[in-house]
Amino acid sequence: MKKAALITGASSGIGAATAIEFAKNGYFVYLMGRDKERLQEVALRCRSGATLLSCDITDVAAVQKRLDEMLSSKIHKIEVLVNNAGIYETHTTETGTDEIWKRQFEVNLFAPIRIVRTLFPYFKEHGGGSIVNISSTLGLRPNGPTAAYSASKAAMVNWTHSLAVEGGPANIRANCLCPGIVDTPIHSFHSLETTQKTAALEKMKSLQPLGRIGTPEDVARAAYFFGSELSSWTTGAIVPVDGGINL
């Protein structure tokens, strides 16, 4: 069976770049996301082949249906899961409503937990697997009005450690990447006009010791390393991919 990877939030940004990176290295990729049209655009760039799993990651029944469809295939062996889908909202603890907190945890933590819960038995049956969770430097060091987002991403960091301990005996690895500021649609500056965006990026340069913000490809290459056999003796790692901003 051909090796395969499941990437959530694959329609843009880090998820799209990660899918393309795995495909470049011979993986068939399953692309999960809400925007079917954009998923199709990503699929066209995945030369090793791709299948679209179009759904809202918070729709439990729809996600389970898509996962069942994927796991029923006898052509591909799912070896890697990249939990990348996420949302980002700014607020303070004082202004954050219950709805904001629930929404952040539902997308950023509970949805990945459900997917892993489904894939764990499959990984055990097939000799192991690799889980890469995409958290954030805000999950390591909160900054500004991001209480719920930071808390959800910190929970993902801690959960990764639990997964590594639980999965180790079954050869299921779990590692976590913590991106810093990356040029993706999750940030408002991403869609600014060229001159405004250039000015915004210039201001952010000084925040990173390496002198620039990240690209989706920066994170995608790290995701490939930790998802693939290149990191076969690594589990439970929490790795900032952030240009040094967390320092």
For residue range 167-205, what is the model confidence (pLDDT) as tens digits?
999 999 999 999 999 988 766 665 557 777 677 777 777
CATH architecture, range 2-185+215-241: 3-Layer(aba) Sandwich (3.40)
Q: What is the pTM of this model?
A: 0.95
List Cβ<8 Å contacts ≥24 apart for 43-50.
45/20, 46/19, 46/20, 46/22, 47/23, 48/2, 48/22, 48/23, 48/24, 49/2, 49/23, 50/19, 50/23
Work out the average pLDDT over 40-67.
98
**For the chain, domain boundaries:** 2-185+215-241
Catalytic residues, by residue number, are: 149
User: Model confidence over 94-137: pLDDT tens digits?
Assistant: 999 999 999 999 999 999 999 999 999 999 999 999 999 999 99
Give me the pLDDT at residue 178, please.
98
Q: Are strands 28-33 and 50-54 parallel, antiparallel or unpaired?
A: parallel
Give me the pLDDT at residue 203, please.
78
